[in-house]
Amino acid sequence: MLAALSSRKRPLAIGGAIVAFFIWWQFAAPDTLRVPLKRLEALAYDLRLNLSLPEPTVDRRIVIIDIDEKSLQEVGHWPWPRHIIAQLVDRLAAQGVAIIGFDIVFPEAERNSAENIIEVLRREPATEEQRTLIRSLQQRLDRFDNNLRFADALRGRDVVLGYVYDFREDTPVGLLPAPPPIKNLDAARQALTNTATNFTANIPSLQQATPYGGFFSLLTDRDGIIRRAPMLARIGDHIYPSLSVEILRLFQLVDEIEVHTALIGERQVIEGITIGQLTIPTDSAARAVVPYRGGWGSFSYISATDVLNARADNERLEGAIALIGTTAHGLFDLRSTPVQSIYPGVEVHANLIAGALDQRFASRPEWANGVEFIATLALGLLIALLQPLLTPLRLILGSLFLSFALITFNFLIWQQMHFILEMALPLLMLFTVSTFNLAYGFLHEARARRELKGMFGQYIPPQLVQEMSDHPEASYGFEGELREMTVMFSDIRNFTAISETLPAGQLKQLLNRFFSPMTRIIFEQHGTIDKYVGDMIMAFWGAPMHNEQHARHAVQAGLEMLRQAVQLDQQFQQEGLPALHIGIGINSGPMNVGDMGSEYRRAYTVLGDAVNQGSRLEALTKFYGVSMLIGEATYLQLQGAIPCREIDRVRVKGKREAVRIYEPLDLEQPAGKVAYQQLEEYALALQAYRRMAWQEAHTIFCRLEGRASHPLYQLYAQRCAHYRDHPPASDWDGVYQHRQKGGGA
């Protein structure tokens, strides 16, 4: 269809097709195909975020109580005894923090130290003193229960415990807090369809000591980076808040969380949540874009050991929201974010709280898809229609201007309105269409014609060169490419002996007389000459022009070359020249074709395993006493158009897989007619040979040899006699192993 368009309309059509593809890719492609696009958009988002970060400052409203390396060195390895955690809570409350939030979960009860002592005492020989001590410890177990000590520290204080949820099929651990009242609960349940199936929460004695709890699960994007965080989660039939949302609810002194939903088609989707006077915009899965303030250290950090040892500055803690988390490397709460590849997970929650307090959330509104579709379509049509009409310089300048305008508009929407609009795909579309038009304008017309004539004039018939020049829009394989093709190798038998009997001038004359008609035949059958090497001709079909009948044309060329060789042999013998016989090997399959070589010398040639197989087939013609052999792939592509007989199943040197090889029969020659008449009987002999009926096969091959003497019949008769006396293994598969490239066992 493109070939029928004029050269002026063709770039318009291709540009329009490119635009259509990008629009389909952005708005209609399956999710699996949109993964690379989502990666590009994520990178564009990260770049935009980092370029628009404010000047580095420390937000003192939120203090992170850091279980850092210093704390682990002074207090001991994690987990710390619960009485130390209780002491930490007491210290923070005494210094006037507003709210304490734990980015830590306590899913297991700590063993009572008194019970440990009792267990050790009971393993020793019993004495009265020992029994008295055990009774005394049993009566005072509560005094040694660190879990109760921690629970007592939580009671009556504004402390939010953390927990995690996931989607594994496993047994939940711990006790969830009571879910807070949710306004518009039924709609929220319908919208949050991705229900968590498992959770790891705090032991009941701790969670029952405080009514507050929130999950601190952070879900990453496909590239492992945290850009969004869930604000709500559905666990079972209840809706639970995140750690940051629960802290904000407590900070705002409100009981209820309002969920904003909208009906899109027949489906409820979440648009955001409101906590008192604060609104957090979310996507349909109740995830908010994390409003990062900057890199690690955007909030005040105080080492937990400094709080425990009364070394913390009281002014930094009074009235602040305290988040207890960890930055110690061994505790595995360091995440990847757009602003920093190693970033404390607890600081992600701090950013969410600060963003809500400042009402500084970016969001992607529901109408974004519609705006992006219209903008992408308008931009695509503009560049597809106008760029082919521009000169290369104006095209480049125009593309740069449009790219700058697109980026500027996107940044303004981001900074002024806090809306997230996609940017990577329009830029990629603009780049692709511009690059195509530049390539088309610079290379297509003049250069294509020059290269076609210069490149292929020595390989293919002049009429094909002219046809290719008239249609330069087609692909002719300058660059290396993989195609399904057919290759031919033709060689003069005993050429070394012939060359030794003739003077150099006469030998050159003989080769010229041989190559000229053979080349003409190859050209007539739409073949391409690869090279002449001594007495060998290498040709291929299927390139530079595509040829669906490449196998048939190659075999027809081979048959005509054999006929021509017979005529030349008769002429040479009349002139007293040596006899002339040729062997031809033909094989089909995937081949690499293109302009290959060095900066000093190049050639349009084919490479690949199928090419090597064709060369080996030519060498095997001597072994089987036939003039032409073709591979199994070539035979299958003939589809019975040319009669053939199967010669053997072979495994040539360097190959593991066995292939069937065939001999095309020329019914215009006496030998071909005789072989064709004997095909049925020959097939019976071959079947008997492969089912290891050696005597039956030997008899038939001998009978065929008696009727028409042929080296092939003699070869199989000898094999049958050998196997009759020396049977092969029981798993013999009928394959003959050639250990030499030119045949031979």
- What is the torsional sign of CA 446, 452, 458, 461? negative
Q: Three-state SS for 175?
A: strand
Most distant CA pair in the chain: distance in Å?
Answer: 131
Q: What are the beta bridge partners of residue 538?
A: 489, 531
For 105-124, the DSSP string reads ---SPPPPHHHHHHHHHHTS
Amino acid at 480: G
Please tell me the distance from the alpha carbon of residue 734 to that of residue 714, in angstroms, as a whole number.
Answer: 18
From 389, 417, 450, give the residue that closes a domain.
Answer: 450
Please tell me the distance from the alpha carbon of residue 636 to that of residue 631, in angstroms, as a whole number.
Answer: 9
Are 119 and 177 part of one and the same domain?
Answer: yes
Between the CA of residue 717 and those of 699, 712, 713, 728, 735, what are the distances in Å?
8, 9, 6, 16, 16
Are 169 and 303 part of one and the same domain?
Answer: yes
Q: Is 650 a domain residue?
A: no
pLDDT digits (tens, 9 = 90+) for 57-69: 889 999 999 999 9
Please tell me the distance from the alpha carbon of residue 517 to that of residue 561, in angstroms, as a whole number.
Answer: 8
**Residue with the larger pLDDT of the pair 723 and 16:** 723
Residue 446 confidence class, pLDDT cut points 50, 70, 90 = low
Instruction: Let me know: does 10 contact 473? Beta carbons within 8 Å.
Output: yes
Which alpha helices (DSSP H) does 639-731 contain, by range?
A: 670-677, 679-690, 694-707, 711-725
From 396, 430, 450, give the residue that closes a domain.
Answer: 450
Between the CA of residue 254 and those of 22, 97, 261, 274, 276, what are the distances in Å?
47, 19, 20, 11, 6
Are 697 and 559 part of one and the same domain?
Answer: no
Residue 492 confidence class, pLDDT cut points 50, 70, 90 = very high
Name the token pair of 731. 């798993």
Give the best-scoring range by mean pLDDT among 1-15, 246-260, 721-735: 246-260
Output the pLDDT for position 5.
47
Output the pLDDT for position 3.
44
Which helix (H) or strand (E) covers residue 323, if one does? strand 321-326
Are 720 and 620 part of one and the same domain?
Answer: no
Residue 590 confidence class, pLDDT cut points 50, 70, 90 = very high
Q: Residue 461 pLDDT more than 80?
A: no
Are 348 and 255 part of one and the same domain?
Answer: yes
Are 520 and 607 part of one and the same domain?
Answer: yes
Output the pLDDT for position 137.
63
Q: Residue 206 pLDDT more than 70?
A: yes
Which helix (H) or strand (E) covers residue 133, if one does? helix 128-139
Output the pLDDT for position 117.
67
Output the pLDDT for position 303.
95
Name the token pair of 663. 């001999």
Are 385 and 326 part of one and the same domain?
Answer: no
Q: Is 48 a domain residue?
A: no
Instruction: Let me know: does 364 contact 227? Beta carbons within 8 Å.
Output: no
**Residue with the larger pLDDT of the pair 433 and 648:** 648
pLDDT digits (tens, 9 = 90+) for 82-120: 999 999 999 999 999 999 999 999 999 988 766 666 666
Burial of 463 (0-12, 13-18, 19+ CB in 10 A): exposed
Output the pLDDT for position 457.
54
Name the token pair of 325. 């988390």
Q: Is 535 a domain residue?
A: yes
Q: Residue 732 pLDDT more than 50?
A: yes
* Mean pLDDT, range 679-706, rounded to an integer: 94
Give the best-scoring range by mean pLDDT among 145-149, 264-268, 551-555: 551-555
* Percent of residues in the chain assigned helix, strand, coil, to nearest 5: 50, 20, 30
Are 369 and 322 part of one and the same domain?
Answer: no
- Tell me the average pLDDT of the chain: 87
Output the pLDDT for position 683.
94
Name the token pair of 723. 């196997």
Output the pLDDT for position 136.
67
Place of tokens 């530079």: 544
Q: Which residues form the domain of 472?
A: 461-642
**Residue with the larger pLDDT of the pair 719 and 743:** 719
Split into its structural domains, the chain has a count of: 4
From 400, 422, 450, give the residue that closes a domain.
Answer: 450
Give the best-scoring range by mean pLDDT among 89-93, 470-474, 652-656: 89-93
Q: Residue 720 pLDDT more than 70?
A: yes
Output the pLDDT for position 4.
42
Q: Is 655 a domain residue?
A: no
CATH code, domain carrying 559? 3.30.70.1230
Instruction: Let me know: does 213 contact 268? Beta carbons within 8 Å.
Output: no
* Mean pLDDT, range 419-443, rounded to an integer: 82
Please tell me the distance from the alpha carbon of residue 515 to that of residue 81, in angstroms, as a whole number.
Answer: 94
* Mean pLDDT, range 729-736, rounded to an integer: 88
Place of tokens 């806090």: 418
- What is the torsional sign of CA 220, 223, 228, 232? negative
Q: Which of 91-105, 183-197, 306-320, 434-448 shows the lowest mean pLDDT across its residues?
A: 434-448
Name the token pair of 94. 């005494």
Output the pLDDT for position 449.
59
Output the pLDDT for position 67.
94
Output the pLDDT for position 352.
96
Nearest Cα to Cα of residue 226 among 110, 336, 150, 88: 336
Are 124 and 202 part of one and the same domain?
Answer: yes
* Mean pLDDT, range 719-739, rounded to an integer: 89
Q: How many CA atoms lie within 13 A of 355 on its CB side?
A: 26
Q: Residue 444 pLDDT more than 80?
A: no
Name the token pair of 562. 């054999």
Q: Residue 510 pLDDT more than 80?
A: yes
* Mean pLDDT, range 420-438, rounded to an integer: 85
**Percent of residues, the chain, with pLDDT higher than 90:** 51
**279-281-286 Cα angle (round to 5):** 115
Between the CA of residue 36 and those of 2, 25, 406, 421, 425, what are the distances in Å?
29, 10, 21, 17, 10
Q: Is 41 a domain residue?
A: no
Are 207 and 298 part of one and the same domain?
Answer: yes
Are 628 and 706 part of one and the same domain?
Answer: no
Q: Is 188 a domain residue?
A: yes
Are 122 and 78 part of one and the same domain?
Answer: yes
Instruction: Please state the separation of Cα 719 from the chain's center in Å.
Output: 51
Q: Is 51 a domain residue?
A: no
Q: Residue 376 pLDDT more than 50?
A: yes
Output the pLDDT for position 465.
57
Name the token pair of 698. 């030997």
Q: Is 576 a domain residue?
A: yes
